[in-house]
Structure 1
Amino acid sequence: MHDIRAIRENPDALDAALARRGEAPMSAAVLELDQARRARISAAETAQAEQNKASKEVGAAKAKGDEAEFERLRALVGEKKAEVAAMQAEAKELDAQLTDMLARIPNTPADDVPDGADEADNVEVNRWGEIPAFDFTPKEHFEIDGVAAAMDFDTAAKISGSRFVLLSGAVARIHRALAQFMINTHVDENGLTEVNPPVLVKDDAMYGTDKLPKFGEDSYRTEDGMWLVPTSEVPLTYIVADHVVEESYLPRRYTAHTLCFRSEAGSAGRDTAGMLRQHQFEKVEMVSITHPDESDAEQKRMLRCAEGILEALGIPYRTVILCTGDMGFGARRTYDIEAWVPGQNTYREISSVSTTGDFQARRMNARFKPKDGGKPQFLHTLNGSGLAVGRCLIAVLENGQRADGSVQLPEALAPYLGGKTLLGADGTLR
């Protein structure tokens, strides 16, 4: 959410930021609505003052026995009361329109975010690991002999429809092991607090984390008006909604392993093969709540947490900073980590680590008290995948595949797989 006072003071700054994102200018429309709202408020206050004055004069007229003046003033009080109510209703409606308009304007990009139109303009900032050399043509994850029978899309489609998968046997265990490894690493080594949050949330939580109103069609809503979370960023970030915390409370660092749900309404036909893009998936999420002065450093720390998971698993990756045209609605700056997937001979996104600045905090009224006094200030919120479990499974399977249809698994998973590190071509762990 944008600060209307900042737009009044410097409307050109908003339009310049939107232009960097490829968006049309909005300040004129915002200020026109704001001016109309403020005019109704002022008019209501004037009418209220006139009503109050007439109310006092009614008593004086009655005391004097001036019946005509008494009736005139009483009628005037009624008229002013009706005027006040009407103007207040108009002001309330205009305020709702202004809030809705502001809620649909994307966040302003940080100064160091590269300008660009789409993913082709993203800038690589890091690369790790050597791309594996195979003496055979590597397969996609669902084609590997040891995986194929345990990754059942047909049965899942019979149960739930397209873009679902039924994992079984050793592949289901490897998937679970990856999530456990990620959570344990973030808690034991990265200092995050594990949370087991609800995956059904209210409108306010979706709105506060900028998923509503713009992206409602990309999420699932229940008949009683709840939402299935698109990511646990929503409940984890909303923990601090409507709170004014002490500065000493900061930073707060959370992690959660949850199911996530996305309707993918705007992505028909994209990445439909295999389990790369599913309606239901699992993700280990990281959320940080910080002091504004510390949010940029916190984003880099979170990025290293996510990169460290891939390094521990031996998965080659590259990190890019997203350009203005490819950045998410609520983000001020985003880094994507892309894992190497041999079956597609390319890097694919496995994590996004974003800072939203105070964009979400304004929407959910989350503030802190400065330790040296002064008015409460808005917090900064950050979120990142640490990592997407299904996509990590894809990367592990494809990078570890062997010519005989087996898969060499990362040593880091051995403690979670009974000491076994090989998925045989017959689908068993060894």
Structure 2
Amino acid sequence: MHDIRSIRDDPDAFDRGLARRGLAPMAAELAALDERRRALITEIQAGQARRNEASKAIGAAKASKDEAAAQALMAEVAQLKERLPALEAEEKEAGDALTARLAALPNLPHPDVPEGEDEDGNALVHERGTRPDFAFAPAEHDAIGPALGLDFETGAAMSGARFTLLRGPAARLHRALGQFMLDVLSGDHGYEQCSPPLLVRDEAVFGTGQLPKFAEDLFRTNDGRWLIPTAEVSLTNIVREKILSEEELPFRFTALTPCFRSEAGAAGRDTRGFIRQHQFEKVEMVSITTPEQSEAEHERMTACAEDILTRLGLPFRRMKLCSGDMGFTAARTYDLEVWLPGQGRYREISSCSTCTDFQARRMNARYRPAGEKATRFVHTLNGSGLAVGRTLVAVIENYQQADGAVAVPEALQPWLRGLSRLEPATGKLPA
């Protein structure tokens, strides 16, 4: 959510930021809505003050036996009592209209975000790791996976497209990856482990920016709750409606949770394999900081995600997303893309974003600077550390062997009781 005062103070800067997002100017419209709302508030306050003043004057007029004055004042009070509710309703309507307009607008890009309309405008920051050199033609994960327990057919038969059953070696690898990531982030990088709710209310999803614009991308229960599309929703809302002290910041939270997405905007993309699912697991990182900390925290968070890829020996690159490819709430995003030799290309495995105070305004999450009475909005950041299913895909493709087995990265072996190879099944898994 944007601060209407900053829009009034520098409308040209706001419109330039919207233009970088490919949006038309909005500052004048927003300022007009705000001016109307503030004018109504002034009129209401003046009316309330006059009503109170006249009510007191009625008693004085009656005490002095000035019946004519008392009757006139009583008529004025009655008129104000009738007029004020209409003004209050009008002010609420104007305020709701302004809030709705502001809620629909994305965060403005940070000045260092590259210009661009889509992923073609993203900028390479660096590449890390060495791509594997195979003595055979590497296969894609959906060709290798079924013999390891990636059962696409049974998952689809149970639940429909974009659902997969994991069995045996694949299920063990998937579980080990999630626990490995969680332990690295909490044990080595200082993130506090959380086990958050998977079902949340409207205000939680509004706070992190999925509502109202992206409702079609979510799953909703009959009682009105939403299945989380990412643990970012639950973890960020830990500080909703709270006033924190500067001394306790930053907060760093992490969680391994199922995530649920309708993938309404991804029709026809990644329909094969395990890349894009309606239900998947992800380890999420969320940081709550002061504005002064947030730039360094963004670099730190992204480095934590990179550390997991480095420990797993997976080649990857960091991309800085352009203005047209960033998510709704982000002011700057780094995508980490892992090399998939079967596909012969990099694919996103983590996004780390700084949202400045955009989400905090929606959640009314504030802190009190040391020695000050006034409060300020916190800055929020979120990142994947990592998407577990996509990491499984990356391990299968990068560590595949000529006989169909998959070598286990050395760093991961303790989470698999020392197992160094995942062997394919000798026969087809039973239907």
Same fold (TM over 0.5): yes
Mapping 1:128-277, distance limit 5 Å: 128-144=128-144, 147-148=146-147, 150-277=149-276
Cα distance in 1 for residues equivalent to 2:377 and 2:238: 14
Partner of 1:266, secondary structure, is: helix
Match of 1:98 in 2: 98
Residue identity opposite 2:200 in structure 1: V
Number of paired residues?
A: 427
Match of 1:309 in 2: 308
Report the CA distance shift for 1:427/1:222 in structure 2 as closer, same or farther (over 3 A).
Answer: farther
Match of 1:278 in 2: 277
> How many angstroms does 1:33 deviate by?
0.8
Cα distance in 2 for residues equivalent to 1:149 and 1:12: 57
Correspondence 1:293 to 2:327 = no
Report the CA distance shift for 1:194/1:304 in structure 2 as closer, same or farther (over 3 A).
Answer: same
Q: Kindly provide the CA deviation profile for residues 252-307 of structure 1, in whole angstroms up to 9, marking residues without a partner as x.
A: 11110000011111111111110100010000000111111111111111111100
Q: Is the 8 A contact 2:150 2:165 kept in 1?
A: yes
> How many angstroms does 1:374 deviate by?
4.3
Residue identity opposite 2:191 in structure 1: L
Residue identity opposite 1:291 in structure 2: T
Cα distance in 1 for residues equivalent to 2:247 and 2:148: 52
Cα distance in 2 for residues equivalent to 1:238 and 1:28: 32
| Structure 2: segments with no counterpart, 5+ residues | none
> How many angstroms does 1:373 deviate by?
2.1
Q: Please, which moves more after superposition, 391-400 or 209-218?
A: 209-218
> How many angstroms does 1:72 deviate by?
3.1
Report the CA distance shift for 1:314/1:147 in structure 2 as closer, same or farther (over 3 A).
Answer: farther
Q: Is the 8 A contact 1:149 1:427 kept in 2?
A: no
Cα distance in 2 for residues equivalent to 1:158 and 1:308: 37
Correspondence 1:30 to 2:52 = no
> How many angstroms does 1:63 deviate by?
2.6
Match of 2:74 in 1: 74
Q: Is the 8 A contact 2:147 2:425 kept in 1?
A: no
Cα distance in 1 for residues equivalent to 2:31 and 2:426: 63
Q: Kindly provide the CA deviation profile for residues 225-265 of structure 1, in whole angstroms up to 9, marking residues without a partner as x.
A: 11110100111111111111111101111110000011111
Q: Kindly provide the CA deviation profile for residues 347-395 of structure 1, in whole angstroms up to 9, marking residues without a partner as x.
A: 0000000000111111111111111324111111100000000000000
Cα distance in 2 for residues equivalent to 1:223 and 1:229: 15
Cα distance in 2 for residues equivalent to 1:142 and 1:255: 30
Partner of 2:314, secondary structure, is: coil
Match of 1:398 in 2: 397
Residue identity opposite 1:162 in structure 2: A
Identity of aligned residues (%): 56
Residue identity opposite 1:43 in structure 2: E
Mapping 1:346-385, distance limit 5 Å: 346-385=345-384
| Structure 1: segments with no counterpart, 5+ residues | none
Match of 2:325 in 1: 326
> How many angstroms does 1:49 deviate by?
2.7
TM-score, normalised by the number of residues in structure 2: 0.96
Q: Kindly provide the CA deviation profile for residues 125-165 of structure 1, in whole angstroms up to 9, marking residues without a partner as x.
A: 01011222223222111201x64461112211221111100
> How many angstroms does 1:201 deviate by?
0.8
Cα distance in 1 for residues equivalent to 2:147 and 2:204: 39
Match of 2:336 in 1: 337
Match of 1:112 in 2: 112
Partner of 2:87, secondary structure, is: helix
Q: Please, which moves more after superposition, 381-390 or 50-59?
A: 50-59
Cα distance in 2 for residues equivalent to 1:334 and 1:166: 32
Q: Is the 8 A contact 2:240 2:363 kept in 1?
A: yes
Partner of 2:264, secondary structure, is: coil
Cα distance in 1 for residues equivalent to 2:240 and 2:248: 14
Partner of 2:256, secondary structure, is: strand
